[in-house]
Amino acid sequence: MVFEFQERTIEQITADIEIVFVIDKNLDHKWVKDKETLQKLGFEGKEGESLLIPETKRLYLGVKDLHHESIRIAASSAIKALKNRKYQTAKIGTYIENCPITNIKAVVEGAILGGYGFNRFKKEKPKEYLTKIIVGYEDYSDIDFSPQNAVKSMKEAQIVAEATNYVRDLVNLPPNVITPQTLAEHALKLAEENSLECTVLDEKELEKENMNAFLAVGRASANPPRLIHLKYRPQNPKAKVAFVGKGLTYDSGGLSLKPSDYMVTMKADKSGACAVLGIIKAASEMELPVEIDAVIGAAENMVGPDSYKPDDILKAKNGKTIEVRNTDAEGRLVLADTLCYVQEKIKPDYIVDLATLTGACVVALGEYTIGVMGHDRQLQDKILKAAEASGELAAKLPFNRYLPKLLESKVADICNISSSRYGGAITAALFLSEFIEKEYKNRWVHLDIAGPAYVEKEWGYNPYGASGAGVRLGIKWLQKEYVFNKKHP
């Protein structure tokens, strides 16, 4: 879809259909040209309400307020309402609350994210008619803004939203298509397209790196594990940030086998890995002034003669021994070695890991919210502010001095699961913390994306399937920290 900004009023722009947001039921606004018809048809402008009037070529949508998330959802609803209609071009005004850039981006993001559909395996694919959206130089509240900034904002929003959809596509691909090897192939293709560096370590190289916990998880699979390392190197970078992704291309639970209904959707256990690919894709296309290392631990957790077992004791890359009590707590084993690799080989300024790590996080925060954990409150707060600004939902889950004791083992340095059924998202993060060196404790943050990563009940601008969780948050944090923050060295 093409997005265009025109320095014209809405009336001066030519398009097949006009999209009008009715804010807070205000049917008296100058952009509402069909008030009498709307009232006759019972349209009140309630949030989520929509009405297409073919005679006047206008689509009206009720919007709660001018908050950027409300605008993003409304833009998504507009695209859904027009999806099967034979309109090729649409026009819309701007809807500014506080920041013009934020709300202009919201329109573009909402349209791209809301228009997404995964139809690769459908014999008959739905026809897409709408190809262009024109944004006019006219604001709902008559606020003045820079056309140059509007154009720049629209371009950035398109990059981020398309990177999110790129992640959705990868996550939605089934396990017979995406294995550790084919995920590596996608990373290599991305590197070629975006002028990135890419290194892939196979199982023999992982063995040389003493990544035995990682190797144990993938041992029973016919598809051997891979460590994937992408690098984005801009000129004069302000910092180096490592994004680490859990890449379980499929998780059966191993010998601690999942019930069959819990195994469905486990293709989504690679969501963290795919998110870091989306982040480095968007960052490189936006030319952000930050070195980025996207590192993925990719494996399949399967059942076979060589399966790792409950009661096994594994030795991780940093020398710590791990008592396995449950083979379905496998993602943390892969991440433990991958985090050690990142600290040893990359030495970044910050480490952010993204993982569909625990069902406990979904229990704690629901299906829409990312769990944010770590040792540094200031870093966590910055992540939370970036999430709010990006439109993603996130909440902090706090560590305390008592929880680490639940991971104690009688026979090894640490156990891979907690001795309590409660607080599982936090104890999983504390397990990862055991593989974070002292110098990095306050420069590491863990994002548990298990709730929002895969959508089985559509909400907002998220269709059924993968949501691309973490991409918009990650890019917004980088922008806030290294682009918008003028005080940063």
H-type alpha helices, 232-321 = 260-263, 271-286
Q: Mapping DSSP to helix (H, G, I), strand (E, B) and coil, where does residue 304 land?
A: coil
CA distance 373 to 157: 27
- How far is 136 from 11, CA to CA, in rounded Å? 9
* DSSP per-residue codes, 65-87: -S-HHHHHHHHHHHHHHHTTS--
HSE-up of residue 88 (Cα within 13 Å, Cβ side) = 1
Does residue 120 carry a catalytic annotation? no
Question: Which of the following is catalytic: 332, 443, 472, 476?
Answer: 332
Q: 15: Cβ–Cβ under 8 A, 6 or more apart, which residues? A: 89, 90, 91, 132, 134
Contact status, residue 18 vs residue 59, Cβ threshold 8 Å: yes
Spatial distance between the Cα atoms of 86 and 365, rounded to a whole number of angstroms: 41
Burial bucket for residue 334 (CB in 10 Å: 0-12, 13-18, 19+): buried
Please tell me the number of Cα atoms within 13 Å of 485 on its side-chain side. Answer: 17
Calculate the CA 348 to chain-centre distance: 21
Region of 210 on the Ramachandran plot (φ > 0 left; ψ -120 to 50 alpha; else beta):
left
- Which are the contacts of 109, defined by CB distance < 8 A and separation ≥ 6? 72, 75, 157, 160, 161, 391, 461, 472
At 279, which amino acid appears?
Answer: I
How far apart, in whole angstroms, are the C-alpha atoms of residue 374 and residue 432? 10
Contact 157, 105 (CB under 8 A): yes
Residue 173: what are its φ and ψ, rounded to 5°? -65, 135
* Cβ partners under 8 Å of residue 309, min gap 6: 255, 324, 327
* SS3 state of residue 251: strand
Separation CA 179–CA 269 (nearest Å)? 12
One-letter amino acid at 13 equals I
152 is catalytic: no
SS3 296: strand
Q: Which of the following is catalytic: 57, 83, 258, 385?
A: 258
Tokens representing residue 381 in the block: 């707060």
- Residues with a known catalytic role: 258, 332
